[in-house]
């Protein structure tokens, strides 16, 4: 491989990665985005080339794939595929969410695990990276079916996780209910009460602010980016996509900071409420999506606003955009429309919601762009604080936790500035990639060849 020379060539590096990981398009996309920022830096610091740090960082420590067999309510045997990608534990135990969605495959989990390496490094907390899940669809399953699936999934996963080894959390399709079923099974199998999962309910070791943390952190990150330009969220119209955990609390914090949230979406379409959401309307959405698991069209019927079936919200005119649903939900066309409509800032609540061409369009237009690994790191940061509280057998107060979250987001913003200053602007993507990279890379260098 050409990296033993003095220069790491991005094309050759990517060709090698694609050859070693055929067909894993989301993983290729995530690595390429990081490589674009990191390779010029590596070429200025040959110690990283000699030690093959980027090659090692793009290869997970291990990948566990397992069969999950469970019984549905009719007594049929069902089989799903479970995964845990333990990506990198150079700076702490593996940490990252579990996703239950029919689209889950190795490529998606490797992209998420790889991104998690940089995100967790940025939080300043001692956390390595991982991601897992299953191609299981929790939608239209009964409560008991979900419980049986979670128990079957954890029966295998429990062999590979633990409070000092790997601490999973939630992600798409895995909320408090699923974490509770899995934690109950873990506790039963291990006969111990340890914080091997985060996102737990408050009654058994969960942390205040955890459920709000990703969305709140994303709003705080936007506020920091705007503040740096002498601007603020107050008075701005905001597009939010998604209506799950991240979107709900991004919307709530945006409203608290004086923003006007005019859209939310789900996998069936989006709502446009030109008057802006209120606490009452958001409460309805939280109940609808989290507890009744209905579709957003119900909201439009109750609150007399428009529902656009099978559409994304990016064509609506607004000042700020917060993609909080899923990967690749903003393409080049969407980005161009946002820019044309006068959007001045994007903060990514979801993981990699903007594709490569969209990110390029934002960059060309000079729009302030907070990449997911920085803007949505608040969730895993408070998961880290949940681990600390579990270890010291304490529960911190809400105000203290929210203050810590705010400080962590400010610190991440500062790290992006430290590494992302350009002539006329801050390149937050480059800043986040480099700041995240340096800490993990230096830890790997210190360990020698392992
Ligand atoms: P939830 O399952 O709570 O919500 C997901 C939301 O996105 C739902 O509104 C869902 O609609 C919508 N959605 C999912 N897939 C699609 C799709 N293919 N097209 C359109 N809409 C879709 O997940 P979270 O809110 O937890 O996660 C959202 C994003 O944030 C993900 O990218 C996740 O990786 C990321 N993230 C989450 C963190 C967390 O703490 N939860 C932390 C950091 C990142 P519907 O209800 O119809 O399915």
What atom in ligand 1 is closest to the CA of residue 173?
2
Q: Are 221 and 374 in contact (CB under 8 A)?
A: yes
* Enclosing H/E stretch for 430: helix 428-447
The pLDDT > 90 percentage for the chain reads: 97
Q: Among 68, 28, 289, 294, which Cα is nearest to 172's?
A: 289
31-64 pLDDT tens trace: 999 999 999 999 999 999 999 999 999 999 999 9
User: What average pLDDT does this structure show over 194-210?
Assistant: 97
**Number of domains the chain is built from:** 3
Query: Which residue has its alpha carbon closest to ligand 1 atom 5?
Result: 244
* Closest C-alpha residue for ligand 1 atom 4: 244
C-alpha–C-alpha distance, residues 376 and 221, integer Å: 8
* 37: in domain: yes
Q: Structural domain of residue 53, as residue ranges?
A: 1-59+430-450
- pLDDT above 70 for 127: yes
Instruction: Please indicate, yes or no, if residue 424 is contained in any of the structural domains.
Output: no
Structure tokens that stand for 328 in this block: 């690749």
Give the pairing of strands 269-272 and 260-266: antiparallel
Residue 296 CA: nearest ligand 1 atom is 47
- Is residue 422's pLDDT more than 60? yes
Residues in contact with ligand 1 by the CB-under-6-Å rule are 170-173, 175, 214, 242-247, 266-268, 289, 324-326, 349-351, 376, 379
SS3 86: strand
| Whether 166 and 98 share a structural domain | yes
Residue 3 pLDDT: 45
Cβ neighbors of 406 (< 8 A, separation 6 or more) are: 220
Q: Give 270's strand partners.
A: 265, 308
My answer on whether 110 and 173 are in the same domain is yes
- Provide the angle, in degrees to the nearest 10, between the axes of the packed helices 245-256 and 210-228: 50
Here the CATH number for the domain that contains residue 99 is 3.40.50.10860
- Domain boundary, last residue among 360, 375, 390: 375
Q: What is the mean pLDDT of residues 436-450?
A: 97
Catalytic residues: 131
What's the pLDDT at 1? 46
Residues facing 162 on adjacent strands: 166
Is 82 in the same domain as 226?
no
Is there a single domain that holds both residue 346 and residue 446?
no
What pLDDT is recorded for position 211? 96
Distance from Cα 132 to the centre of ligand 1, integer Å: 15
CA distance 203 to 314: 39
Instruction: Indicate if 119 and 35 belong to the same structural domain.
Output: no
- Look up residue 390 and give its two tokens: 């579990």
Q: Are residues 245 and 291 in the same domain?
A: yes
Whole-angstrom distance, CA of residue 332 vs CA of residue 361? 7
User: Residue 102 domain-assigned?
Assistant: yes
Nearest in space to 318 (alpha carbons), one of 270, 352, 353:
270
Q: pTM for this structure?
A: 0.96
Residue in the structure block whose two tokens are 């203050």: 403
pLDDT over 60 (residue 129): yes
Residue nearest to atom 46 of ligand 1 (CA): 266
Q: Please check whether residues 290 and 320 belong to one and the same domain.
A: yes
Last residue of a domain, one of 357, 375, 393: 375
Q: Indicate whether 311 and 237 sit together in one domain.
A: yes
Nearest CA, atom 42, ligand 1: 379
The H-or-E segment that residue 424 falls in is none
Q: What share of the chain is helix, strand, coil (3-state, %, to 5)?
A: 50, 15, 35
Distance 55 CA to ligand 1 centre (A): 30
- Distance from Cα 319 to the centre of ligand 1, integer Å: 23
Quote the ligand 1 centre to 39 CA distance (angstroms): 31
DSSP E strands in 115-236: the ranges are 129-134, 166-169
CA distances from 378 to 203, 250, 406 (A): 22, 11, 8
Nearest residue to 258 (alpha-carbon basis) of 190, 319, 300:
319
pLDDT computed for residue 424 by the predictor: 86
For 160-194, write each residue's pLDDT tens digit: 999 999 999 999 999 999 999 999 999 999 999 99
Which tokens go with 141? Answer: 């399953």
The strand pair at 345-347 and 306-309 is best described as unpaired
Inside any domain, residue 198: no
3-state secondary structure 279-340: HHHHHHHHHHHHHCCCCCHHHHHHHCCEEEECCCHHHCCCCEEECCCCCCCECHHHHHHHHH
**C-alpha span between 383 and 403 (Å, rounded):** 15
CATH number, domain containing residue 435: 1.10.285.10
**What pLDDT was estimated at residue 214?**
97
* pLDDT for 6: 80
Same domain, 132 and 67: yes
Same domain? For 180 and 255 the reply is no
Q: What is the pLDDT of residues 64-120, one digit of tens each?
A: 999 999 999 999 999 999 999 999 999 999 999 999 999 999 999 999 999 999 999
Q: What is the mean pLDDT of residues 407-425?
A: 96
Which atom from ligand 1 is nearest to the alpha carbon of 112? 34
Ligand 1 pocket, mutate which of 109, 172, 179 (most atoms under 8 A from CB)? 172
Q: Is residue 417 situated within a structural domain? A: no
The residue whose CA has the least distance to atom 19 of ligand 1 is 267
Q: Residue 4: pLDDT band by 50, 70, 90 thresholds?
A: low
CA distance 166 to 6: 36
**Residue 2 — very low, low, confident or very high, per pLDDT cuts 50/70/90?**
very low
Distance CA 163, CA 194 (A): 6
Residue 391 belongs to a domain: no
Which tokens is 372 given? 């997911």
Q: Domain holding 332: CATH number?
A: 3.40.50.720
Ligand 1 atom closest to the Cα of residue 174 is 2
Average predicted confidence (pLDDT) for the chain: 97
394 falls within a domain? no
Yes or no: say if 285 and 296 are a contact pair by the CB < 8 Å rule.
yes
Q: How many CB atoms lie within 10 A of CB 232?
A: 14
State the sign of the Cα–Cα–Cα–Cα dihedral 82, 31, 372, 122.
Answer: positive
In a domain, 93, yes or no: yes
The domain boundary, picked from 339, 355, 375, lies at: 375
Domain co-membership, 359 together with 246? yes
Are 243 and 361 part of one and the same domain? yes
């Amino acid at each position: 491989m050409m990296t033993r020379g003095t220069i790491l060539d991005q094309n050759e590096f990517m060709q090698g990665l694609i050859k070693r990981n055929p067909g894993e398009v989301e993983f290729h996309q995530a690595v390429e985005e990081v490589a674009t920022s990191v390779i010029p830096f590596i070429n200025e610091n040959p110690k990283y080339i000699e030690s093959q740090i980027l090659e090692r960082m793009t290869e997970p420590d291990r990948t566990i794939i397992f069969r999950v067999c469970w019984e549905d309510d009719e007594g049929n045997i069902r089989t799903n595929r479970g995964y845990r990608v333990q990506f990198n534990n150079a700076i702490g135990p593996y940490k990252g969410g579990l996703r239950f969605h029919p689209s889950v495959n190795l490529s998606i989990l490797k992209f998420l695990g790889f991104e998690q390496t940089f995100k967790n490094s940025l939080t300043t907390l001692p956390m390595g990276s991982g991601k897992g899940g299953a191609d299981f669809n929790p939608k239209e399953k009964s409560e008991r079916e979900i419980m049986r699936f979670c128990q079957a999934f954890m029966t295998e996963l429990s062999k590979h996780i633990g409070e000092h080894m790997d601490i999973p959390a939630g992600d798409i399709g895995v909320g408090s209910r699923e974490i509770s079923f899995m934690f109950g099974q873990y506790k039963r199998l291990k006969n111990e009460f340890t914080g091997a999962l985060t996102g737990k309910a408050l009654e058994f070791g969960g942390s205040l602010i955890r459920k709000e943390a990703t969305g709140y952190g994303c709003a705080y990150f936007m506020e920091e980016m705007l503040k740096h330009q002498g601007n603020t969220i107050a008075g701005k119209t905001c597009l939010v996509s998604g209506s799950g955990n991240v979107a709900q609390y991004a919307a709530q914090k945006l409203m608290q900071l004086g923003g006007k949230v005019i859209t939310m979406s789900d996998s069936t379409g989006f709502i446009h409420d030109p008057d802006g959401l209120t606490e009452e309307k958001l409460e309805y959405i939280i109940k609808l999506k989290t507890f009744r698991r209905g579709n957003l069209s119900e909201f439009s019927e109750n609150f007399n606003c428009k529902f656009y079936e099978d559409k994304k919200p990016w064509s609506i005119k607004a000042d700020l955009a917060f993609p909080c649903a899923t990967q690749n939900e903003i393409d080049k066309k969407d980005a161009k429309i946002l820019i044309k409509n006068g959007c001045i800032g994007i903060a990514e609540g979801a993981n990699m919601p903007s594709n490569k061409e969209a990110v390029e369009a934002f960059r060309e237009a000079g729009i302030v762009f907070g990449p997911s690994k920085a803007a949505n790191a608040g969730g895993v940061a408070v998961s880290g604080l949940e681990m600390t509280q579990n270890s010291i057998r304490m529960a911190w107060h809400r105000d203290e936790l929210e203050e810590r979250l705010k400080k962590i987001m400010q610190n991440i913003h500062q790290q992006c500035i430290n590494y992302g200053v350009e002539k006329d602007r801050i390149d937050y993507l480059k800043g986040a990639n480099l700041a995240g990279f340096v800490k993990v890379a230096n830890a790997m260098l210190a360990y020698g060849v392992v």
